[in-house]
Structure 1
């Protein structure tokens, strides 16, 4: 369990997050509590065993970080990085990257790509969030999370300005493709995935993801 007494004294409030989270946990923020960058960074660093997001209704959305999801994200990042170095451009980020969406969400995908035109202009090191929206995001279903919950998260991404999103279910070997125009395709056990017109030329070999 996260120690809260010292953090409460420093920041005014700190969430109590259990060591084990089943499915999805919502923790409302106190009414007058102000989310600062220092507090946000502290909460994330103290609770690396879970993924923490902030909703427009001022709730912390907590979900488990799975080994399966981490493995899949790493495989995807490797293939995307090869495509970037071959001329695709931009940058690929893992789940530590947080995006502030126009709707008020602060979200963290398992994997994301930012196009060259969206690259941060500020010098590194960057803060823990980007005031941009990734062009392409990937979410991997975690144990205990329902498909419905994950699909709702994908809709949030598209409504926030993401141009292409993949929802990967490693348990059923399914992929849902979400596009900016609202179209959604469901694929059963695909052998490869295309970045389409968003990540032109990107082709992901799914055999390295599934196996």
Structure 2
């Protein structure tokens, strides 16, 4: 039987950010997130096709960032401590240079206390859409300026922007723009049809 929702461990005691980081390291190679209430969410590895699509997205973001040098790109294994207390790990993320460099090195080595400026979540075949939509809304509420929730299953893209309603695009025959957050960055959704 397939479960179509994340497995959540209800918190027993509150963990500090450092304790949660140590918990994650002690249970490597498992991956975890933590919601704003302290509940621990077990993050399953993706299927191979989703991994291929994730690296395509991340590679395009990395190439753009390497050329423009405006910030730092992060992969799906990176955790961030959000202002609301959650620890989240988007499929791809980007942070403006001045914001990232303002974080002390010792905090950069753990789950940095920052919400990315840009995030991507790619829905895999088994991901619960409602859960991912809630996660995207949480990023936006915590300061993310632009986010893409790419749903290959339904062939839709949900675009999250600060202070705006969610835009829904119902075609994979389109190119997404990084807008003013990532000037000059575009992503052709047809690259995900492999």
For residues 113-151 of structure 1, the C-alpha deviation after alignment (integer angstroms, 9 at most, x for no partner) is 011121234348942311121100011113332211111
The count of residues paired between Structure 1 and Structure 2 equals: 190
Query: How far has the Cα of 1:75 moved from its partner?
Result: 0.7
**Secondary structure of 2:101's aligned partner:** coil
Aligned residue among 76, 86, 99 for 1:105:
86
1:156 CA drift (Å): 0.7
Distance 1:34 1:149 in 2: 23
Alignment of 1:93 onto 2:63: no
Counterpart residue number, 1:197: 180
Gaps of 5+ in 1: 1-19
Range that drifts further, 123-132 or 95-104: 123-132
Contact 2:21 2:111 in 1 (8 A): no
1:142–1:199 Cα change, 3 Å: same
Change (3 A) 1:125 1:118: closer
Between stretches 38-47 and 58-67, larger displacement belongs to 38-47
Q: 2:120 aligns with which of 117, 125, 138?
A: 138
Contact kept? 1:64, 1:142, Cα under 8 Å:
no
Contact 1:174 1:190 in 2 (8 A): no
Please give the residue correspondences for 1:106-125 in structure 2 after superposition, counting only pairs within 5 Å. 106-121=87-102, 122-123=104-105
How far does the alpha carbon of each residue in 1:164-199 deviate from its partner, in whole angstroms, 9 at most, with x for none?
A: 000011222221101011321111214311001111
Among candidates 59, 75, 82, match of residue 39 of structure 2:
59
TM alignment of 1:60-79, pairs within 5 A: 60-67=40-47, 68-79=49-60
Contact 1:26 1:60 in 2 (8 A): yes
Separation (CA, whole Å) in 2 of partners of 1:166 and 1:130 = 21
Task: Normalising by structure 1, report the TM-score.
Answer: 0.79
CA separation in 1, counterparts of 2:17 and 2:183?
37
TM-score (norm: length of structure 2): 0.86
Structure 2: where are the runs of 5+ without partners?
none
Q: Which runs of 4+ in 1 moved over 4 A?
A: none
The residue number in structure 2 matching 1:151 is 133
- Aligned-residue Cα RMSD (Å) equals 2.4
